[in-house]
Structure 1
């Protein structure tokens, strides 16, 4: 009887066939060989020989294959075989009939040992569990757990541990330890409970190494959860009092790193936190002191601590070092996602928005591919904050939608953060009511969460909104609460946020002296810490404060750097403010000097002559919507239309190249303009400062502005280009305005009884224009 498709027949008929037609015709040695090797999922000559003691096992396997005895040769390698699943099932059934229970136990144990020796751990564990070799299975699971977790195979490990008897886990606390490690990605709360049970058993046994490792792992698990674990840090502090010396330096590094991590998040006001930060940072920087996973977690919390503390440069150094280390290491998917999440946070604080967006989408993509969602909402939140701070509302809407899609598996903090993002988005659109509503929702969600940075940001945001809505009392209350949280956190960033907001409030309410004082403190702190971004960033507020700071001479280098890095642009170009960090500054009164990004451009002669002439012509024409033909007529009066038009096109290209920014010189519908948000011209500033005057010529503000205008006029407009007819009209107008302003300002000083200042004013006019008869008459 042939049996070509045994899987199509009833199992009894199949087994009867194997017993009567196949098995009965074999010699006893072959039958024993088959019964023992059936416990191997795949059979190689070496493993078969070790298990059966048959020296020519390879020959036996080859003959079984050639005789078509349901023995398949694997295609991957010619020396590996596998029994047909039904034939193997028959053999194992027959083995249980032929061997005693003790003999089956021994065969399985020996087969597992052979498989383990060959590196086929998974099959070995399965055999040990089937054989109820609990001790050997537990030890093999414990040995292989780090490898499986790194490979992302935590679920397999959890299944194996779950198949062991409960009392075995109680006898082997490292099973609880590795169970916790496997649960971390999916359920941090359950993970903590497993580490906690391991810790309790180790403590009962006096196993200090196990106790320290399980405490540290439990502390790390709390970092991934929304819930507070108030007793966990005191438990270790009690241990450290009784055992001031750790079992070994490696254990000490591991515990101190985790203690710092837990303190920085759960007890930021703890008096020993600065000491723990210093020790954790030392271990972090010491090669080999911490394994990579712990080093990653420590780096993450060192970054968070230092960002909020105001050590932003140090935080960037830490995350960059971690990136360098990870390049040469075999790391898990969770590690990569954690690293990307940390990078995105640092990029937010340093206003590196392009880099932040890249890190966010790389992390989210890997999360979706692997199913590791523990950081998904966090990293989306970092991206959302970056987009809102950068004013990229389209990207903010995309990230809000992605965040909403993930709320089903989000923690309390993530849900609260989603509503905070909605509030920030509404504030950016000018919807104060919508912003306030979502901040209140976020506050109610996060009320029970002891996350100090969240509360600091919420209170500063509510303070700003209350102030905008005219509720000064509530604004002050929230500001005080934010400041109190910042003190608990030791956060100089929160202090900066509070000082900036309070300065804005005081200045808005006309308390200039107090506001300027607060602004000095805020920007001095910002300079010391390198702060360029915060949560709830409002560009219009920062523009106003930066303008005020430059006017008052407050931290001018820091303020200019802040304006440049954040691209702060006032709605109305502040032409009266020479100190503003203009991308292009042009001096045309008494000399011609061109500064690009603060650097004086040295003329290279004839090559730049025509582009510079074009620039001067645009200044003469007012810098706004000058017709191409008008510019061409000034520069190429002798050329015909086509030639002049082509020359203008070439010269415009060269001018833009010279200025290094196409947007500085704009062309729209045949009209040329200089972008007055980027270009400052002393002649334009001179005229604007003399035009913007109060109703009373004697008011101090007008005199201050007039004095500043007169200081700008160091000579006549483009005097070296006196041969250019198109410069004459503007030159004369500016000269007349200068003479009139000198006389008016001098007379005002004289009326105020400041004769010496009046004389100095008149003399300045004569120094610039010794032919000014109007001044001589004064």
Structure 2
């Protein structure tokens, strides 16, 4: 069994040392926790490692596995209630360090009696105990105190451990494994970095570890979706995963699907565990509290007091959370909790057996009313449904649907509506309309179209023409996007007939007219589209509702883009974007930015196009356009891809390939057509004619199947131009091309008519008809000169450059064609070199001017980021750190970039920086080598000593990023100056915009990879202070505008950068108070106090305390 020790309290009777209490757990079939094992490696350099988590999270298994894998000497002490006696505790602790050690020896010759000994004597005895261990244990040694919660209320043991930890020799290390927070004095140890702490959230299994458990231990074959579902369901709780795995092992894999689809899990083994380990030992008060509140997804003390008509919910929840009984605090102030998924499933199961259905329904009904009284309709919805009151749930959803859609809450709204019974939905067709909108925005066009039609039918029966037209209008749009041309044409005619006969309110009329303008363009009805646009724009100011005006501007802008009227499109879409931002219509921004990007691409303004596309992608994420396969996300990615200056890069082509695949997997056929068509033009521009041809042919096939005639004609014409005389006789090809162009002139939008002229000009030139080609080209010039369309000229430049050069040499439309050469870029240079010898003086001089312009642009601009770690990109290619080959060269580059704004730098400055103690002559030679490395890395094709980026003159050096290049530190400072100027001018909107732009540039502390470089420190500190002040300015602007949520976002960013600034916590307190959020205000105050106490060992200032008292009094007084 073990040895025995004497105990003074038992009159000299020996204390039995049970070897079972000093035995480590047996490990078998474990899942390696590599990420945590790496974290635990720090344990060898600290005195104490604390692992705190509830039952079943693998504390003991992880610790034993770590010590065994690392080959570390250790002893295990399994604590029990009796170990609260300090004599017993120390006896076992001594035996853990050395089983042969005499406890009397370690305690200085006599037993330790903490309860009766004076404090000075107790410290002496503990010191003697520690001295005895130190004499016996010379090497690194670890002792694990398992189940430490068993002695957590033993004050003698706690006091003794505090003393022992404070004086523990460097070779001795303790592990404390506990289900509750140990009441030890750890503040100073944390400050000295002598303690490693691992919490429950770190112990939870991730997907990879869940997969290893299921596959390697239980031999279950499951897919990634099932693994993620099980991890989310159990929240990574290891014992829960093991018990569920046993359930799955005993059944079949179909059970996983049932688990994934059920709200509550019913596993006998799991529920038995909860009953035996947690539930049965609770007192009746806590049992009743848990059962009744298990119906709540969020558990708040104040709400529970009202719900249960008691006054101590906060105490109950604090007790449960402190014991790690699967009650999870959602904030540090203890104002909100939730139950673990599996515990809640268990409690709901017990509730259903202990209460009658009517009693459970009454609980839900009461909860619903209380949540509504608190203004939380979302929480109330589910309770109304479970209480058997779906009519009330439907009424609440109808009032909330518009706001939820506006802020991108599509999935939540869809799930809530689909929980309603069908008869209820039949009585609330507006909810069907909202459901269709959700499916549309989630990319499920087929389901959305069916629901729009159902809702329209119900509205028609009720005589609600305005709502019916809402459904028909949106259904028409989806019919077009889905490639259902016959249905779209029939819907359009029906819609127009009803539209003309209906007495619509003004907003509905304009929204319908605007959307029909785009729909008419889709269907080749260009004149009708222009009529609707003109009618809408003539009275736009009569539209009173912001959402209606936004819809009208967006659709009219879209129609203008399709018609090739780019300048009008840009004007309308810019107005739409401004309105969306100002009125917080965030869910509209992705579409608007996408259209702006496409319009700018069509105009040859590729930098602006890329900027709008990236803004659209960010807006998609912020507005809840979920997942990479959402049509709006794909469209913005496509817009970004086709706006890049150099689509010959592999990265760009890989993106286009991904987008084509994603688009064709979805239901937006129009998007699939666009992806293939634009990929074809991108490959053509890059000179990859075979892949270009494949994409044009795929476009033809898609269009032919779905009835997109205009795009089918364009892709056919592109194919003919690429294969002139190869597939069919040249004369036949020309005849077919003319027929296509005639058809497009009669029905297609302006943008496609212009492109058709370009392609026909190329085809005529290939047949030798130069005059015909020039005449046809002049028609394209006439159209695009008016509307500013130059993007297509670049896309088809390899086909049309020869005929453009002929027209230019004859002096035809030189100004417009010069702009075309600029947009087309360096591909034009061979033609411009020849044009320098033109017989026309104006053409010669203009060609020379363009050559000089384009040669300057050929040098790709440098983008240098130093906020965060150094990142250098040339054009679209990133220069990796390994490419520099020399740390000195890299240091020189960093210094030159950081001081670029000062102008040329003397060589001596760099020599002193890099080689401060070296002979000047040697230092100069070393600098030449470093500068040569910089030149070769930035400009490997340049001649020796020549560089377009590193300019030297005499003893001066200048790093030149090039035309369009930038250095983020300079941009950041420039934006700060612009913001200051805007503030001084009283332009608060411009001030906020410049501040946001500056904030977006700050990617981290200046050159974070060089924390100890002396020259970096003052720059880093100055920039960081400016950044924190900037965040405070943004916060103040949002507070003044009443945008409290945004203000809180930037306060949190500021606190992440400087968590010791009390003014930021005070600001957060004020914002929460302004929102009426007392809990948030108190949480901010507690965070402030905790940080200052734990990290700076000071109390909060009188100003902060006074503000807290003032705000608290305001809440108390209502």
Range into which the TM-score falls when normalised by the shorter chain: 0.5 to 0.7
Q: Which residue of 2 aligns with 1:526?
A: 784
CA contact (8 A) 1:504 1:545 kept: yes
CA distance in 1, matches of 2:944, 2:318: 86
The offset of 1:183, in angstroms, is: 0.9
Question: Aligned with 1:534: secondary structure?
Answer: helix
Which of 721, 740, 757 aligns to 1:481? It is 740
Task: Name stretches of at least 5 consecutive residues in structure 1 with no aligned partner.
Answer: 587-593, 599-665, 673-778
Alignment of 1:357 onto 2:610:
yes
> 1:573 aligns to what?
834
CA shift, 1:190, in A, is 0.8
Does the 8 Å CA contact 2:577/2:593 hold for their aligned counterparts? no
Q: Distance in 2 between matches of 1:365 and 1:84?
A: 33
The answer as to 2:409 corresponding to 1:153 is: yes
The answer on whether the counterparts of 1:263 and 1:273 sit within 8 Å (CA) in structure 2 is: yes
Deviation at 1:487?
A: 1.9
Out of 375, 393, 398, which is 2:632 matched to? 375
Question: Partners in 2 of 1:479 and 1:281 — Cα distance?
Answer: 36
Q: 1:461 offset after TM fit, Å?
A: 1.0
Map residues 216-295 of structure 1 onto 2, 5 A cutoff: 216-222=473-479, 224-228=481-485, 229-230=487-488, 231-243=490-502, 245-246=503-504, 248-265=505-522, 267-269=523-525, 272-282=528-538, 288-291=544-547
Mapping for residues 653-732 of structure 1, pairs under 5 Å: 668=943
Q: Distance in 2 between matches of 1:536 and 1:596?
A: 19
Deviation at 1:316, TM superposition (A): 1.7
Corresponding residue of 1:759: none
Per-residue CA distance 1:466-498 (angstroms, 9 max, x = gap): 436462322331332133123212x33333333
Q: Distance in 2 between matches of 1:499 and 1:116?
A: 63
Counterparts of 1:556 and 1:20 in 2: how far apart (Å)? 91
- In structure 2, distance between residues paired with 1:357 and 1:87: 49
- 1: CA distance, partners of 2:789 / 2:538: 25
Q: Does 1:199 align with 2:460?
A: no
Deviations 1:62-118 (A, max 9, x none): 565688799979554455577899998898778778877556544422320211222
Alpha carbons 1:564, 1:581 under 8 Å: kept: no
Change in Cα spacing, 1:300 to 1:480, as seen in structure 2 (3 Å) is farther
How far residue 126 of structure 1 moved from its aligned partner, in angstroms, is: 1.6
Distance in 1 (alpha carbons) for counterparts of 2:731 and 2:709: 24
Q: Report the aligned-residue RMSD.
A: 4.6
Pairwise CA distance, 1:503 = 4.1
Residues 301-346 of structure 1, C-alpha deviation per residue, up to 9 Å, x if partnerless? 43343234232211121222233333334344x5343233212211
Distance 1:47 1:477, change over 3 A: same
Question: 2 CA distance for matches of 1:516 and 1:233?
Answer: 39
Matched, 1:496 2:754: yes
Provide Cα deviations, 1:14-70, integer angstroms capped at 9, x if missing partner. 4999799843xx7xxx99998766654555565456546x4xx43x43565688799
Q: Which residue number in structure 2 is paired with residue 338 of structure 1?
A: 591
Name the structure 1 match of 2:578: 324
Q: Contact between 1:222 and 1:262, CA under 8 Å: does it hold in 2?
A: no
TM-score (norm 2): 0.45
The 1-side partners of 2:851 and 2:759 are apart by 34
1:302 and 2:560 aligned: no
Q: Give the match for residue 751 of structure 1.
A: none
Q: CA deviation at 1:387?
A: 5.0
Aligned to 2:394: 138
Name the SS of the counterpart of 2:484 in structure 1.
Answer: coil
Distance 1:13 1:488, change over 3 A: closer
Specify which of 691, 695, 708 is matched with residue 451 of structure 1.
708
Say whether the 8 Å CA contact 1:340–1:362 is kept in structure 2: yes
Which residue is equivalent to 1:614? none
Structure 2 distance, partners of 1:477, 1:499, is: 14
Task: Report the CA distance between 1:562 and its aligned residue.
Answer: 2.8
Q: State the distance in 1 between where 2:647 and 2:293 align.
A: 68
The answer as to whether partners of 1:199 and 1:215 remain within 8 angstroms in 2 is yes
Q: Which residues in structure 2 correspond to 1:51-90 (within 5 Å)?
A: 51=307, 54=309, 57-58=310-311, 60-61=312-313, 64=316, 74=329, 75-78=331-334
Per-residue CA distance 1:543-600 (angstroms, 9 max, x = gap): 43333334444333323333334333344432234222746869xxxxxxx99989xx
CA 1:76–1:194 in 2, change beyond 3 Å: closer, same or farther? Answer: farther
Structure 2: tracts of 5 or more residues without a match: 1-80, 82-148, 151-178, 180-238, 241-268, 855-940, 948-1118
CA contact (8 A) 2:741 2:760 kept: no
Q: Please give the alpha-carbon distance, in whole angstroms, between the structure 1 residues aligned to 2:688 and 2:343.
A: 74
Aligned residue for 2:812, secondary structure, equals coil
Structure 1 residue 297, shift from structure 2 partner: 5.5
Correspondent of 2:426 among 170, 190, 193: 170
Q: 1:482 to 1:596 in 2, by over 3 A?
A: closer
For residues 559 and 17 of structure 1, what CA distance do their matches in structure 2 show?
A: 80
Distance 1:425 1:262 in 2: 27
Distance verdict in 2 for CA 1:455–1:120, change over 3 Å: same
* CA distance 1:557–1:97, change in 2 (3 Å): closer
Alpha-carbon distance change, 565 to 67 in structure 1, aligned in 2, over 3 angstroms: closer
**What whole-Å deviation, never above 9, does each CA across 1:450-472 have from its counterpart, x for those lacking one?**
33441242133134234364623
Distance 1:16 1:113, change over 3 A: same
**Deviation (angstroms), 1:128:** 1.2
Encode CA deviations 1:253-273: one digit per residue, 9 max, x unaligned. 3332333333332x3327632
Which deviates more from structure 2 when the two are superposed, residues 225-234 or residues 42-51?
Answer: 42-51
* Deviation string, structure 1 residues 692-750 (Cα, Å, up to 9, x no partner): xxxxxxxxxxxxxxxxxxxxxxxxxxxxxxxxxxxxxxxxxxxxxxxxxxxxxxxxxxx
8 Å CA contact 2:511–2:551 kept in 1: the answer is no
Stretch moving more, 276-285 or 175-184:
276-285
Cα separation, 2, equivalents of 1:175 and 1:442: 37
Q: Which residue of 1 aligns with 2:373?
A: 117
Conserved 8 A contact 1:216-1:254: no
* 1:296 CA drift (Å): 5.7
CA distance in 2 between partners of 1:538 and 1:241 (Å): 42
* Whole-angstrom distance in 2 between the partners of 1:9 and 1:544: 76
Q: For the structure 1 residues 183 and 283, does the alpha-carbon distance in structure 2 shift closer, same or farther, using more than 3 Å as the test?
A: farther
Cα contact 1:340–1:360 (8 A) shared by 2: yes
Q: 1:186 to 1:17 in 2, by over 3 A?
A: closer
Residue 350 of structure 1, CA deviation: 1.0
Please identify the structure whose Cα radius of gyration is greater. 1
| Cα pair distance change 1:195/1:80, threshold 3 Å | same
SS at match of 1:152: coil
* Kept in 1: contact 2:607–2:643 (CA 8 A): no
Change (3 A) 1:320 1:452: farther
Report the CA distance between 1:200 and its aligned residue.
0.7
